Amino acid sequence: MLDSSALAIKADRLNTRYKHHSATSVMQGALQDAGNIALVSSFGAESVVLLHMTAVIDKMTPVIFIDTQMLFTETLVYQTEVCERLGLKNVHIIQAAEQDVAQEDPTGALHLRDTDACCALRKIRPLENALAGYDGWITGRKRFQSGTRAALDFFEVEDRAPRLKVNPLAHWAPDDVRAYMEENRLPRHPLVAKGYPSIGCSPCTSAVRPGEDPRAGRWREQTKEECGIHFENGKFVRTGASA
């Protein structure tokens, strides 16, 4: 695995090469030119776009799904249905280690007193373990989603491993997502129709009212925008109240 400096050079080279390319081209380029890459998917409101692109390019691409054991039942059903419909053949469902949950969150109430610790237990550490051995991973982040993502590039360097992080949809707007889903007749997450444009764990996700930011239902009333999977300088992102 390359060190941070070498990865930064590689990311710059890839960003220059794919600067004016489509999301599909970036996806294909990542899978061909960025080493051993996995797609990490939440199977949330917009996840089916990248899952479909992946299925078209290579159905054997590793897909990692983090089951926090606090997800909506609708998400678990949707995950199964989408994988079957798209024919994805290399899906890895990961969870926190049983002994860690028993020690750190035996009652399942950790999220009520420390959401960061809950995310670390149920998302960050399981994902870090699952990504061991990969050179990079593909995410569905987009510039429009929050201020912390406004300058997002297609390729960036994650400081924890280090490894490459690929954001094929970085420049997409909400209309692009909708158009792709409609053109390809992709199934929507059932909670979207019930007012959930951004979907995470059930205890920390609420419906969004008309006129609110699409991510307003995530960690409502908290100064938290990210679960911690996406770090800046090794720290949780905490930049706004409407997470």
Kindly list the catalytic residues: 227
Cα separation, 111 vs 183, in Å, equals: 38
CA distance 31 to 142: 19
Give dist(CA 40, CA 130) in Å, integer. 10
Does a cis peptide bond (omega within 30 degrees of 0) precede residue 162?
Answer: yes
Handedness of CA 16, 17, 22, 28 (dihedral sign): negative
Phi, psi of 166, rounded to the nearest 5 degrees:
-115, 130
Q: What is the end-to-end Cα distance of the chain in Å, rounded?
A: 34
Q: Which two tokens stand for residue 194?
A: 């019930």
C-alpha span between 16 and 222 (Å, rounded): 37
